[in-house]
Amino acid sequence: MSVFTVIIPARYGSSRLPGKPLLDIAGRPMVAHVYERAQESLAKRIYVATDDARIAEAVEGFGGSVLMTRTDHPSGTDRLAECADILELDDDEIVVNVQGDEPMLPAELISQVANNLTANPQAGIATLCERIHDRETLFNPNAVKVVKSEAGMALYFSRAPIPWARDYFADPSAGLPPTYDFYRHIGIYAYRVGFLRDYVTWGSCPLEGIESLEQLRAMWRGVPIHVDVVAKAPPAGVDTEADLQRVRAMMAKTS
């Protein structure tokens, strides 16, 4: 089993849902639910990383641990690297990035991605995916697709439908080819701390810029990324008001 630290980046300023980590779900802030999911995993330590005093106060209010970070990070990965330095983690230690807007993320996935990185020492990152069952998802640019090798290493991530089934997709009324499994990327990552320290020294690469996908910076630099199919499909996170209402309804049914 892997020994790992969970870090939950939490920003107050969301363009669509300001103050998102503090929004109420079943009487508690969203970030409290995310923290609880992490506690259900095999994580050794759990921290919320934020640059906002309101979020820090809320986390401390439910007994969570907080890391105060700079306000100028261009990405969540940069924020994680600062956290690794604050905690003085060794380069070979593993950090799992759990998004602060995933209040229903199955804890099994947190442990799964950390264990996968431990089991694949050639990889600097491990992440997860799930099978795509409909053409609408495959062609939706908000659903990131991934193609992986026989050994489970990422070949490419894209917002476009990949791989392109040349003959099958010529018919717009057809579904998905029955001879190939397509995969949607799920944005949970386990990182080796040494990779995080390298990452923040690299500038953005052309692929990352054109696709708006941070993980392509690692691929551009030749860092292997392990990709595994999820042990349990996660519900969607909270990006919009409609998402928030859906999660509130789901939580109400289970409480």
- DSSP of 47-108: EEEES-HHHHHHHHHTT--EEE--S--SSHHHHHHHHHHHTT--TT-EEEE--TT-TT--HH
CATH of domain 4-254: 3.90.550.10
pLDDT at residue 255 is higher than 70:
no
What share of the chain in percent tops pLDDT 70? 99
Please give the mean pLDDT across all residues of the chain.
92
Per-residue confidence at 232, pLDDT binned at 50, 70, 90?
A: confident
Query: What are the boundaries of each domain within the chain?
Result: 4-254
125-181: pLDDT as tens digits? 999 999 999 999 999 998 999 999 999 999 999 999 999 998 888 888 888 888 899
- Beta bridge partners, 128, equal 186, 228
Question: How far, in whole angstroms, is CA 207 from its chain's centroid?
Answer: 19
Rounded average pLDDT over 97-112: 93
Per-residue confidence at 15, pLDDT binned at 50, 70, 90?
A: low
235-254: pLDDT as tens digits? 878 888 888 899 888 888 77
Whether the predicted model's global pTM rises above the 0.85 cut: yes
